[in-house]
Chains A and B, each alone.
Chain A
Amino acid sequence: MLASGILGLSAESLGNVVMGGAGAIVTKSVGLKPRNGYANPTIVQTSYGLINAMGLPNPGITEFVKEIREAKSFGVPVIVSVYGFSAEEYATAAKIAVDAGADAVELNVSCPHVKETGSEIGQNPKILIKVVRKVKTVVEKPVFVKLSPNVTDIAEIAEAAAKAGANALTAINTVKAMAIDTETTVPILSNKTGGLSGPAIKPIAVRCVYEIYEGVKVPIIGCGGITDWRDAVEFLLAGATAVQIGTAIALKGPNVFKKVTRGIDAYLKRKGFKSVNEIVGLSHCS
């Protein structure tokens, strides 16, 4: 499925991702009020990934409802990513999204570059539990929680989210990072720090999924640096039942989804597995 934050602000561009083979789409994170995001530079291209600090630009959930409705016509599950500055805000945004037709919501409790939301919520198990419980009381669709790798013990946070009622966990969001230009000696991003995505963070993400799988029963959605089928299989072996792809679209275009799913199928066939379920968490047996 498509990872949140990529091309997810307009239904038409989400449609392109579906045509590229995505089995489900996660929208860009949407909150109660419109946000303009940060000034440029909002992205830094590094050797093995991207650092971004977009600043959660979004038109607000009320305006976004029409994009959700349109995205529903593509025939794949639409997962709306929501953020808030309080448990109530998460719940209200989630409810509006579900009422508009969202098949699930993914709580962004892991954005590393906006204050008082995102990872500031997801790094604190107590606040996280409160947010997840609140959302669970107002929506009947599945609630995913997207976890931050910027914590001491991701397994502990994962257990807290699962205990609070999360139906699935997405691991991981971007890794907090920064880049400084040596000639001018200034930080490049206008926000100074941002989140690293892409091939650079894949080993971190695989480790996170592996650790979470040891402790929780809810499904894990692997995310972080997946570029080809081999990366995806690695996440499945670590314990993910599904994977998300984002940054790789810049490298391979929206058709990356087709290439990855075909590659997984070929791998399963070659190795004699009957179903993808047989390899989920397989590495834990060894």
Chain B
Amino acid sequence: MKLSAYRIAANKLRTTHILSVDTESPTVKIFTFKDKQCARANPGQFLMLWIPSVDEIPLSILDAKENGTVSVAAKKVGDATSAFHNKSVGELIGVRGPFGNCFTLKGGRILMVSGGTGTAPILFLAERLTPKTAKLVFVTGAKTREELLFLNKSKRTLDGEKTQLIATTEDGSYGIKGLVTKPLEKLLERERFDMIYTCGPEQMMRKVFNLAEKYEVALEASLERLMRCAIGLCGSCVIGRYRVCKDGPIFTAKQLRENKSEFGISKRGFSGRKIPL
């Protein structure tokens, strides 16, 4: 048998039972299930999750354990995620993946910036990276305290002396009042970082990218686009000459520099037409 045929087969849809559902915020739930392949995923990779008879959606991997369990966080934003939120323990879902590249695991002095459900892959990265880093500053933001995600989990992960957790809320109900980018400028002025990792709303990441450029710090950002095939064929998720599903979802500052007219500004809609973010 050709290796090529095997590679398509290797990523077949698998159905699996939901093992646990945890309510993380009024709009976000964490789902845990068993999937051997996705349990081997690296931070930054994503999977395609099938809600039978409803839809299939891309989700970042929040956690992948040696015992074969995988966790994802889903925010209720539309029909598909609402149907997903209505699922309970024991019900069947489908999984394809893991897909895409991953964050590079860099040691040294690290700055992580996340917003909303974008915190999922960043926290997964933090867990894997903490033993390697000299310093890790984790900045996470949300609109309000109750939407600040994975706060307890973050505190547990970032409890060492060389780690620091900074939270921001737009309404000031927790941590620093303002956008997640607010404390960044001061941090970057004061300290030297070797790498910035970011995931969240793209306009937020664009601001982080601009700051990284200003202070000449390396950066990797995790992008999201409309996904259909997830294997680099259909072209739904393209940004410039890159396919987010295959060449991404993690992009370096150098790659983002090539796509300044799209990054944080536009994406392709269902018809392939460019639409504002």
Chain A interface residues (CB < 8 Å from chain B) = 5-10, 12-13, 15-16, 28, 34-37, 39-50, 52, 54, 57-60, 63, 181, 183-184, 186, 188, 190, 198-199, 227-228, 246-253
- B56–A41 contact, CB under 8 A? yes
- Interface assignment of B105: CB less than 8 Å from any CB of chain A: no
Smallest CB gap from A253: residue in B: B232
- A13–B270 contact, CB under 8 A? no
Stretch of B3-11, B30-38, B136-144 lying at the A interface = B3-11
Q: How far is the CA of A188 from the CA of B52 in the complex (A)?
A: 7
14 contacts between A and B (CB under 8 A): A28-B235, A36-B270, A39-B55, A41-B13, A41-B56, A47-B5, A47-B9, A47-B12, A59-B271, A59-B272, A183-B15, A184-B52, A184-B92, A199-B5
Residues of A within 8 A of B50 (CB): 41, 188
- Interface assignment of B135: CB less than 8 Å from any CB of chain A: no
Residues of A within 8 A of B273 (CB): 34, 59, 63
Q: How far is the CA of A228 from the CA of B3 in the complex (A)?
A: 12
Q: How far is the CA of A252 from the CA of B3 in the complex (A)?
A: 10
- A42–B233 contact, CB under 8 A? no
- Interface assignment of B268: CB less than 8 Å from any CB of chain A: yes
Q: How far is the CA of A198 from the CA of B240 in the complex (A)?
A: 27
- A58–B13 contact, CB under 8 A? no
- B5–A48 contact, CB under 8 A? yes
| Residue from A34, A190, A199 in contact with B55 in the complex, judged by beta carbons closer than 8 Å | A190
Q: How far is the CA of A13 from the CA of B238 in the complex (A)?
A: 7
| Chain B contact residues, majority secondary structure | loop
B210: min CB distance to chain A, Å: 23
Smallest CB gap from A47: residue in B: B9
Given contacts A40-B57, A42-B228, A184-B92, contact A10 B272 (CB under 8 A): yes
- B231–A13 contact, CB under 8 A? no
A202: min CB distance to chain B, Å: 11
Smallest CB gap from B259: residue in A: A12
Q: How far is the CA of A47 from the CA of B8 in the complex (A)?
A: 6
Residues of A within 8 A of B12 (CB): 45-47
Smallest CB gap from B3: residue in A: A251
Residues of B within 8 A of A48 (CB): 5, 8-9
Residues of A within 8 A of B190 (CB): none
Given contacts A36-B270, A181-B15, A183-B92, contact A250 B9 (CB under 8 A): no
Residues of A within 8 A of B8 (CB): 45-50, 198, 250-251
Q: How far is the CA of A37 from the CA of B270 in the complex (A)?
A: 7
| Residue from B96, B234, B238 in contact with A54 in the complex, judged by beta carbons closer than 8 Å | B234
Residues of A within 8 A of B230 (CB): 43
Smallest CB gap from B93: residue in A: A184
Residues of B within 8 A of A58 (CB): 271-272
Q: How far is the CA of A246 from the CA of B4 in the complex (A)?
A: 13
Given contacts A10-B238, A52-B229, A246-B233, contact A251 B271 (CB under 8 A): no
Residues of B within 8 A of A246 (CB): 233
Residues of B within 8 A of A248 (CB): 4
- 6 extra A-B contacts, CB within 8 A, seeds A10-B238, A43-B230: A36-B271, A44-B13, A45-B12, A57-B271, A199-B4, A247-B233
- A227–B272 contact, CB under 8 A? no
- Interface assignment of B156: CB less than 8 Å from any CB of chain A: no
- A249–B233 contact, CB under 8 A? yes
Smallest CB gap from A179: residue in B: B13
Q: How far is the CA of A252 from the CA of B235 in the complex (A)?
A: 16
Smallest CB gap from A49: residue in B: B8
Q: How far is the CA of A250 from the CA of B50 in the complex (A)?
A: 21
- A250–B13 contact, CB under 8 A? no
Given contacts A45-B12, A181-B15, contact A186 B53 (CB under 8 A): yes
Q: Which of B191-244 contact A (CB under 8 A)?
A: 227-236, 238, 240-241, 243
- A43–B234 contact, CB under 8 A? yes
B206: min CB distance to chain A, Å: 20
| Residue from B9, B53, B92, B233 in contact with A46 in the complex, judged by beta carbons closer than 8 Å | B9
- A250–B96 contact, CB under 8 A? no
- Interface assignment of B2: CB less than 8 Å from any CB of chain A: yes
| Residue from A9, A52, A253 in contact with B235 in the complex, judged by beta carbons closer than 8 Å | A9
Residues of A within 8 A of B116 (CB): none
| Residue from B4, B5, B13 in contact with A188 in the complex, judged by beta carbons closer than 8 Å | B13
Residues of B within 8 A of A8 (CB): 235
Smallest CB gap from A12: residue in B: B241
